[in-house]
Chains A and B, each alone.
Chain A
Amino acid sequence: MKNGLTFFPKGVHFFRVSMQLLKAYWQETLAYRGMVIIWGIHSIMVPFVLMFVWLAVERGSNSPYQDGDYILYYLAMPLVMNFIDCWTVFTFPEELREGYFNRQLLKPLHPIWGHVFEHIAAKAFQLLCLVPIVFSISWFMGDYLPDIDFSFRKIALLFFALLFAVVLRFVMNTTLAMTGFWIEHVETLNLVFNQAIWALLGGMVTPIETLPPIFRIVTDVLPYRYTLSFPIEILRGKISNGEIIIGFVVMVCWLFLFSLAGRALWRAGLRIYTAYGG
């Protein structure tokens, strides 16, 4: 590719560069630790409130979820949300607006990598804060939680489901962020496509497994479910093998589609980018 912006640089050199970048972003995360911790608390609070809402709901007799299932679902959610959280849709357009992006383009590394390492560092730190809180609540509520078996197969599945969810969410958000080349404020698009619909069809407000069949057709086809509910469904263990396979296939399809779209937008965007500001 032109001007050295190869997406996958080769060799030991790349490894050294990424280690350095990770270190730098880790320091930055530590500098803003107050903000990261506040954000972590916020991300626990939303599922926590929703858990109480569902426990207070007078359920019909056909509900597949009992109290324990809801508790498990909303306790696992902050952890999943921490993994999949992605904020390129805020930072990337800002780079474009403020003109920092020029600097990124000069570096001999694809600018996306900077975002990737920033996310890894911040999430690692947030996870360190979240895990003790979530585990102490689960210990406290242990009696109410349903039994979960942790076989090797399930842990492996969980790992891949989470990994794919993280990558899918990152690619989705970053693709949307690329529209920042044309649109002044991507945040409005993000609010609709990535937050409102995601909360609804991803399983945040209502666990996907409790939805009526008509809604299930929509949620199973769209990518949102796979970035939030899917790993938790695997953890709960009531999902059939067939459904898991279909889930992974749908995920890969969306990943492929969004990567292509993102790449196209990136190239077209670079061509029209005229660098305002300094």
Chain B
Amino acid sequence: MNFRTFSLEFPRHARILIQFWKTSLVQAMEYRVNFMLGIGANAIDFTIGLVQYGFFFSVANSIAGWQKDQMLAFYAIFMTIFSLHFIVLFPNLEAMSQLVNSGALDLVLTKPISVQFLLSFRKLSFDEMGSFFTSQVLLLGLWATGRIDVSAQNLFLFFGALFCSFSFVYSFFLFLMAIAIRIEKLQNMAELMWSFFTFCRYPVDVFPRWVRSLFISLIPIAFITTIPAKALTVGVEPSTVIWGGFLAVVFLFAARFFWKTAIASYTSAGG
């Protein structure tokens, strides 16, 4: 399905997606204790992550120029992006290898709906809801107590940068989905996604200068968390965000192209 038909039929797709998400919720609620336990454990995980910064700043005064409050905002933004990836993308990536190996992908391909759309967002995982909401509370708390001072321009740039960030995460995800079609032997693509997030967990300013410029110019690691967090706390040049937007478009198209060729080369598992 090409982009034009997809945008024309978007309402239908949205309705179908909502049905799928409802099913996901019902499935998750089937194990109610586990559902609540997951969210609780996740909130604890988030808190421990916060305590880590307490440990950091018991020894350190600042991390590569980032003060404590800025670092907290950084963490909240990182966890927002990381948990959203866990909620929306991760379960689908996990399911992909299984679909390819069992040949169930054939069935999906025959449906009169955008395959990329369906396979990307079909499943939801609710475990990371705890992280998501706690990080919003943390951000709001930082803002309400005046620890981060947000101007209208900064907020605008922040949302711009956040949008770039989502685009990069999605293109990397789509790229891995395409790899999962080509190489059946890889058991768990999700681990590659985590490796990628390892670099985004701390500001790119900690890396040597040449690595940092690489992360801003070509490999968009900086745009995942550092640039949005900077935009919110100290502000960034609008040109940086514009460059990010340009890169995001390039990456999205590249990932889409890679995905299409992978789907075209899919020969089914047989049986």
Q: Is the pair A52, B191 in contact by a Cβ cutoff of 8 Å?
A: no
Q: Is the pair B51, A200 in contact by a Cβ cutoff of 8 Å?
A: yes
Known contacts A49-B202, A57-B64, A206-B55, A192 near B194 by CB under 8 Å = no
B61, closest chain A residue (CB): A58
A41-75 vs B, CB cutoff 8 Å, 1 = contact: the mask equals 11001100110110111111001000000000000
The CA-CA distance from A185 to B127 in the complex, in Å, is 12
* The residue from A32, A46, A196, A212 contacting B45, defined by CB atoms under 8 A apart: A196
The CA-CA distance from A60 to B188 in the complex, in Å, is 42
* The residue from A56, A206, A210 contacting B64, defined by CB atoms under 8 A apart: A56
Interface of A is mostly: helix
The CA-CA distance from A189 to B37 in the complex, in Å, is 9
A side interface size, CB within 8 A: 39
Which of B7-15, B103-111, B156-164, B179-187 lies at the interface with chain A?
A: B179-187
The CA-CA distance from A212 to B206 in the complex, in Å, is 24
A32, closest chain B residue (CB): B187
* The residue from B34, B44, B52 contacting A206, defined by CB atoms under 8 A apart: B52
Q: Give every chain B residue within 8 A of A35 (Cβ-Cβ).
A: 185-188, 191
The CA-CA distance from A197 to B44 in the complex, in Å, is 10
Does B58 count as interface, using CB distance less than 8 angstroms? yes
Does B199 count as interface, using CB distance less than 8 angstroms? yes
Q: Give every chain B residue within 8 A of A53 (Cβ-Cβ).
A: 63-64, 202, 206
A172-201 vs B, CB cutoff 8 Å, 1 = contact: the mask equals 000000000001110011011001110110
Q: Closest Cβ of chain B: how far from A215's Cβ, in Å? A: 7
Q: Give every chain A residue within 8 A of B147 (Cβ-Cβ).
A: none
Q: Is the pair A60, B60 in contact by a Cβ cutoff of 8 Å?
A: yes
* The residue from A52, A185, A195, A206 contacting B207, defined by CB atoms under 8 A apart: A52
Q: What size tier do the contact residues of chain B reach?
A: 35 or more
The CA-CA distance from A41 to B198 in the complex, in Å, is 12
A50, closest chain B residue (CB): B202
Does A134 count as interface, using CB distance less than 8 angstroms? no
B38, closest chain A residue (CB): A188
The CA-CA distance from A32 to B188 in the complex, in Å, is 11
Q: Is the pair B59, A205 in contact by a Cβ cutoff of 8 Å?
A: no
The CA-CA distance from A60 to B62 in the complex, in Å, is 9
Q: Give every chain A residue within 8 A of B64 (Cβ-Cβ).
A: 53, 56-57
The CA-CA distance from A171 to B33 in the complex, in Å, is 26
**Of residues 121 to 154 in B, which have CB atoms within 8 Å of A's CB atoms?**
127
Q: Is the pair A45, B199 in contact by a Cβ cutoff of 8 Å?
A: yes
Q: Is the pair B55, A211 in contact by a Cβ cutoff of 8 Å?
A: yes
The CA-CA distance from A92 to B1 in the complex, in Å, is 42
The CA-CA distance from A196 to B50 in the complex, in Å, is 11
* The residue from B37, B44, B63, B198 contacting A57, defined by CB atoms under 8 A apart: B63
Q: Is the pair A189, B41 in contact by a Cβ cutoff of 8 Å?
A: yes
Q: Is the pair A49, B55 in contact by a Cβ cutoff of 8 Å?
A: no
Known contacts A32-B187, A55-B206, A200 near B52 by CB under 8 Å = yes
Q: Is the pair B191, A206 in contact by a Cβ cutoff of 8 Å?
A: no
Q: Is the pair B198, A46 in contact by a Cβ cutoff of 8 Å?
A: yes
Known contacts A38-B191, A42-B191, A211 near B49 by CB under 8 Å = no
Q: Give every chain A residue within 8 A of B42 (Cβ-Cβ).
A: 188, 191
Does A11 count as interface, using CB distance less than 8 angstroms? no
| A-B CB contact pairs (8 Å), 10 listed | A35-B187, A45-B195, A184-B33, A184-B34, A188-B34, A188-B41, A200-B48, A200-B51, A200-B55, A206-B59
| Other 15 A-B pairs with CB < 8 A, given A38-B186, A183-B34 | A32-B187, A39-B191, A42-B194, A52-B202, A56-B206, A57-B60, A58-B63, A60-B60, A185-B37, A188-B34, A188-B127, A189-B41, A191-B41, A192-B45, A200-B52
Q: Identify the B interface with A (CB < 8 A).
A: 31, 33-34, 37-38, 41-42, 44-45, 48-49, 51-52, 55-56, 58-64, 127, 183, 185-188, 191-192, 194-195, 198-199, 201-202, 205-208
Q: Identify the A interface with B (CB < 8 A).
A: 31-32, 34-35, 38-39, 41-42, 45-46, 49-50, 52-53, 55-60, 63, 183-185, 188-189, 191-192, 195-197, 199-200, 205-206, 210-212, 215
